[in-house]
A and B are shown apart, each in its own frame.
Chain A
Amino acid sequence: MKTFNIIKRIIKQIFNDKRSLALILLVPLFIFTLIYFLLGDSDYTARIAEADMPAPLVDELKEQNVTVTSLTVDEGREQVKSGQADALLYKEDGTTHLLLETNDATKAGIVQKAVTSAMKELSPGSAMETEFIYGNSDDTLFNSLGYVMLGIVSFFIIFIIAGISFVRERTNQTMERLMMTPVRRWQVVLGYTLGFGFFAILQSIVLLTYDICVLGFAVAGSVITAGLITILLAMSAVCIGAFFSIFSNNEFQMMQFIPIVVIPQIFFSGIISLDTLPYHLGEAAKIFPVYYACDALKAVTIRGAGPEKILPDITALLVFILLFFVMNILALKKYRRI
């Protein structure tokens, strides 16, 4: 009941503060519109070669903004190498393979979007292997960029809003006053996490709806699973933001944590391939929640993975949330020993 009271207060506070509300709900839409124009639908018509693919799929592909030529696998491979075609679609051992020359983000993005939407029409959830002639990354960097950004933007905004509102509670002593009411420490932390969690849910719904319905992003897997991942990530942002606010005496000191907490997460979110980093530096990504969220988002949105495939990522996110949740409860001892 007291937890609910705190949740209600946070929701009221943010709705009364139109700027924060706009930061949560409108700014991501603005950023995604920008990304859309920077990386998205250019007028380029991709050339896709196909080898022995089922006729319905070829027809479906032709519906997309691409030219399709039918060749053998070897011919197709040659064409992709020489740059006559942007990609080759073929079947091997019952799996669909997509061969690309290199990971040129824009071209590959267009190809992948066309193939994903075509396949989704026919057999949703079917798997596809992506290969490169140059560069052996088995990761799909390009089209996933939008979803990586989904994770980063959501984390960043919620981290800032939750962190700063916690700092404000401390500087204007409302935290001390709150702790002098007969409330338990876990109720305060839970109220905070769920109160901002409400905005995390709202943000995920608005952002995903906008991305899919207005910008036309293709999601291979379940949209609901993708939404759940962003919500979990945002919840971890609340807990981490609240935690770092403990070490900030004012709003500006909270901003000083951005280069330490947020920017490294952008690098390790999957924008840059982690396998190629020296000294196993890529392993460092595993201490950041954004890494797990982006990994899961990519799996769901691009490879069409089901919930069972992303279970390890989900577990990692839950561990982060729980860890910082408990640390926040302990940190409140600063205000009251019991």
Chain B
Amino acid sequence: MQVCVSHVSKSFKKQQVLKDISLTIENNEIFGLIGPSGAGKTTLIRLIIGAVNADEGEIKIGNIKIPSLRALRDFGYMPQNDALYYDLSGYDNLMFFGGMYGIAKPELKKRAHEVLKLVDLEHDGGKKVSNYSGGMKKRLSLAVALLAEPGLLILDEPTVGIDPLLRRRIWEQFNRLKEQGKTIIVTTHVMDEAVMCDRLALIYNGGVLACDGVDALLARTPNHTIEELFFNNGAQA
């Protein structure tokens, strides 16, 4: 599913957070938004999902202009926080969010078990989320985003606070989802994670420093590291 961001600007109380951003996320790719904290990544994500309105510009998911009630069926969203109900079990969380997508109960039960297995929580589904570890919460949060089998996944810092081993497993998961034809937008400020994306947009100070394939971007730098991209492009900007 294609996402089209064209000439989008956003200010909060006179402070401009995003300046004239244009990006196109192609169908069936893993697209990374990288940049330091406070650069405007989360704001951009929230504009794409329609949680906040752009001051200027237009955003489209597929052919649907955002915000739209219909587009809400097409993507799965994983916020930066866990955004789970701690007083409910993992399974009940899935049943609740699945119900909000209007999935019929027998189908939903099947899906809930499928996604629990996918994120390696099949034996912990009955436990209350308040008893989960940080990594387990993160995985359950990802499971919620996958539940309705959306064509587009929008994940805000999905691997923050997750140990390297689990991070690698989650990325393997992303690649498998991509093979199934899904589009994934992911934000990160971990540079070695960025190289696993297909294409990257470097967000800095509310603008796009550069947007290209990972290899093409790395080729621009002398030592072929992502950090250098910020220094080089930042100097130009």
Instruction: Tell me the A residues contacting B by CB distance below 8 Å.
Output: 1-2, 5-6, 8-9, 12-14, 16-17, 172-174, 176-184, 335-338
Instruction: List the one stretch of B5-13, B23-31, B84-92, B215-223 in contact with chain A.
Output: B84-92
B49 at the interface (CB under 8 A from A): yes
Contact B85 A9 (CB under 8 A): yes
Question: With A16-B128, A172-B82, A182-B101 in contact, is A9–B88 under 8 Å at CB?
Answer: yes
CB atoms of A338 and B68 under 8 A apart: yes
B 104-122 to A, binary, CB cutoff 8 A, 1 in contact else 0? 0000000000000000000
Q: Is B207 an interface residue (CB 8 A)?
A: no
Distance (whole angstroms) from the CB of A285 to the closest CB of chain B: 37
A14 to B87, CA, bound (A): 8
Q: Are A177 and B88 also in contact (CB < 8 A) when A337-B67, A338-B69 are?
A: no
Total interface residues in chain B, CB < 8 Å: 30
B72 interface hit (Cβ, 8 Å): yes
Which of chain B's residues 40-84 have a Cβ closer than 8 Å to chain A? 49-51, 53, 67-70, 72-73, 77, 79-84
Q: Do A16 and B87 contact each other (CB < 8 Å), given the known contacts A177-B79, A336-B51? A: yes
How far does the Cβ of A302 sit from chain B's closest Cβ, in whole Å? 40
Q: Are A174's CB and B85's CB within 8 A? A: yes
- Nearest-CB distance from A11 to chain B (Å)? 11
B134 close to chain A: CB less than 8 A:
no
Report whether over half of chain B's contact residues are helix, strand or loop; otherwise say mixed.
loop
- Asked if B100 and A2 sit within 8 Å, CB to CB, the answer is yes
- Provide the residues of chain A in CB contact with B87, threshold 8 Å: 12-14, 16-17
**B73 cross-chain contacts in A, Cβ below 8 A:** 182
- Residues in B with CB closer than 8 Å to A336 are 50-51, 67
Q: Answer whether residue B36 sits at the interface, using C-beta atoms and an 8 A cutoff.
A: no
Is B97 interfacial (CB-CB < 8 Å)?
A: yes
What is the chain A residue whose CB lies nearest that of B75?
Answer: A180
Q: Is B96 an interface residue (CB 8 A)?
A: yes
**Could you tell me if A183 and B100 are in contact, using CB atoms closer than 8 angstroms?**
yes
Given contacts A176-B79, A176-B83, A182-B73, 13 further A-B contacts (CB under 8 A): A9-B92, A17-B87, A172-B83, A173-B81, A178-B97, A178-B100, A181-B72, A181-B97, A182-B69, A182-B70, A183-B100, A184-B69, A338-B67
Chain A residues near B102 (CB-CB < 8 A): 1-2, 182
Kindly state the separation between the CA atoms of A177 and B86 in the bound complex, as whole angstroms. 14
- For the complex of A and B, list the 6 residue pairs with the smallest distance between their C-beta atoms, beginning with the closest: A5-B99, A181-B100, A173-B83, A182-B72, A177-B83, A173-B81
Q: Who on chain A is nearest to B78 by CB?
A: A177
A1 CA to B82 CA, complexed, in Å: 26
Taking the nearest CB of chain A, how far is it from the CB of B196, in angstroms? 25
Is A177 touching B67 in the complex (CB atoms < 8 A)? no
* Chain A residue with Cβ nearest B100: A181
B200 at the interface (CB under 8 A from A): no
Give Cα A180 to B76, complex, Å: 8
Q: Kindly list chain B residues whose C-beta atoms are within 8 Å of the C-beta of A179.
A: 51
CA distance A6 to B96 in the complex (A): 7
**Chain B residues, CB < 8 A from A174:** 83-85
Instruction: Give, as a whole number of angstroms, the nearest-CB distance from B17 to chain A.
Output: 17
Complex contact A180–B49 (CB within 8 A)? yes
Contacts of A182 in B (CB 8 A): 69-70, 72-73, 100-102
Instruction: Give complex CA distance A9, B79 in Å.
Output: 20
Specify which of A13, A173, A180 is in contact with B72 (CB 8 Å cutoff): A180
Is A180's CB under 8 angstroms from B69's CB?
A: no
Q: Which chain A positions have C-beta within 8 A of B81?
A: 172-173
